[in-house]
Amino acid sequence: MTHIVKVLRHLGYACCALLLLGCSDVPSALTPLHDYQTRVANTLEREPISYHRKSYPLLPQARELRIEVPRVSISLLDSWRVNKCAAGQLIAERNSALGTLERGVTRYVKDVQLSLAIEDCVRQLEANGDALAARLQEALEAKQETLAAERQHALGTDPALRNALRVGGSTLAVADDDLFAASISSLETIIAALQADLDQQPPTEDAVEQALEDLYQYDYLPQLWRSLHELNTYLHQLEPLTVNLASASGCTSKGRPERANVLHTIFLKYFIGEAQPHMAKFTQQGYIANDALEELYQLSEQPQMREYLRALMDLTDQLNAASKAHVEPWQEFFSACNFSLGDGVT
């Protein structure tokens, strides 16, 4: 009975949380903008603008990005003889029950390591005049030809990487530098792993696995993409709010009405003082993240994935442009109402 009561209590808490979320008019990232626009609307005796969600970029389905990677193998007898090299242990791991289940970035990293080990083994065998060197070289060349396809497969289908690249279901309340730095660091580790080839060692397996785990568990980057999208959407929806500000505030008549003074205060305090710095933190993180997205874009050869990555990168530019455009009507208002343009308007 006690267990049932606890379950019902937790369900009650969950329902209350859902009700509270349902009462929220706007996503949490929009709170400073919403507060600002409500004050402007009330001063102008207008209805506050209701927020309407807009569709956001969708990560292509994994099945659309899946690539068949040819299997490369050597004879059982040769695999036994390779045991004298470091490659022997890696081949045994690949053929184990766990090894056959490896997918995505992990499998790509293991195959790069295996290729490097086979390359080293070929040199050892050649030095000893072993005929196995020629057969192993053929297998190595065949494996090299599959790495490009395997990279594309990993980039498009790895669950952890896909989780980091998708647009999240909710926004961030504020931009957090520490959480962002940790997420970007993990993403950069995975990018370095995908960039690895026979000329470049991948990060350690432990580093790759930890980065994948972090990207799979934490949603900071998905929420960042969603925040950039929602902020840009909201700024565009607020355009009617700033139409004919000078006329609406009464600055077309002689003198400066009190309403204009109130609007001036609201703009400086709630947009310049709060909303703009709030958005600037998101755009700052967006531009840093764009460097990582650009690297993924250069690695990708699949049109659907490249198009999606470009859409993610565009989110930051779009928000930056929308923020600047929102200020322009206020600059006209400052001029018409004889306020100093140096009074915090940027």
For the ranges 10-19, 80-89, 140-149, 288-297, the lowest mean pLDDT is seen at 10-19
Model confidence band, residue 297 (pLDDT cutoffs 50, 70, 90) = very high
For the ranges 19-28, 40-49, 186-195, the lowest mean pLDDT is seen at 19-28
Q: Alpha-carbon distance 332 to 345, whole Å? A: 11
pLDDT higher than 80, residue 307: yes
pLDDT digits (tens, 9 = 90+) for 139-188: 777 777 788 889 999 999 999 999 999 999 999 999 999 999 999 999 99
Q: What was the pLDDT predicted at 190?
A: 97
Q: What was the pLDDT predicted at 139?
A: 73
| β-sheet bridge partners, residue 200 | 197
**Percentage, residues of the chain above pLDDT 70:** 81
pLDDT higher than 60, residue 74: no
For the ranges 161-165, 231-235, 250-254, the lowest mean pLDDT is seen at 250-254
pLDDT digits (tens, 9 = 90+) for 84-99: 676 656 665 665 545 4
Q: What was the pLDDT predicted at 1?
A: 38
Q: What was the pLDDT predicted at 234?
A: 97
pLDDT digits (tens, 9 = 90+) for 257-281: 899 999 999 999 999 999 999 999 9
pLDDT higher than 50, residue 78: yes
Burial classification of residue 35, based on how many CB atoms lie within 10 Å of its CB (0-12 exposed, 13-18 middle, 19 or more buried): middle
- Quote the tokens at residue 253: 């008549």
pLDDT higher than 70, residue 284: yes
> For tokens 């195959």, what's the residue?
111
Could you tell me if 138 and 226 are in contact, meaning their C-beta atoms sit under 8 angstroms apart? no
| β-sheet bridge partners, residue 5 | none
pLDDT higher than 60, residue 26: yes
When mean pLDDT is compared over 71-75, 111-115, 330-334, the highest value belongs to 330-334
Q: What is the mean pLDDT of residues 66-77?
A: 65
Could you tell me if 119 and 198 are in contact, meaning their C-beta atoms sit under 8 angstroms apart? yes
pLDDT higher than 70, residue 124: yes
Query: Average model confidence (pLDDT) for the chain?
Result: 84
Query: How many other C-beta atoms are found inside a 10 Å radius of the C-beta of residue 341?
Result: 10
Q: Alpha-carbon distance 251 to 155, whole Å? A: 57
pLDDT higher than 50, residue 313: yes
pLDDT higher than 60, residue 225: yes
Q: Where are the alpha helices (DSSP H) in the chain?
A: 2-23, 31-43, 62-65, 76-81, 86-95, 104-127, 132-157, 159-165, 177-195, 205-217, 220-237, 245-249, 258-266, 276-299, 303-336
- Quote the tokens at residue 283: 């755009």
In sequence order, the 6+-apart residues with CB closer than 8 A to the CB of 264 are: 334, 337, 339, 343
Model confidence band, residue 16 (pLDDT cutoffs 50, 70, 90) = very low
CA 50: distance to chain centroid? 27
pLDDT higher than 50, residue 238: yes
Q: What is the mean pLDDT of residues 312-333?
A: 96
Q: What is the mean pLDDT of residues 121-145?
A: 75
- Quote the tokens at residue 259: 């309403």
pLDDT higher than 80, residue 77: no
- Quote the tokens at residue 97: 């029950």
Could you tell me if 159 and 105 are in contact, meaning their C-beta atoms sit under 8 angstroms apart? no
pLDDT higher than 60, residue 51: yes
Q: What is the mean pLDDT of residues 112-131?
A: 77
Which is it for the CA torsion 270, 49, 283, 320, positive or negative? Answer: negative
Q: Alpha-carbon distance 202 to 105, whole Å? A: 11
- Quote the tokens at residue 166: 């998708």
**DSSP conformation class of 344:** T
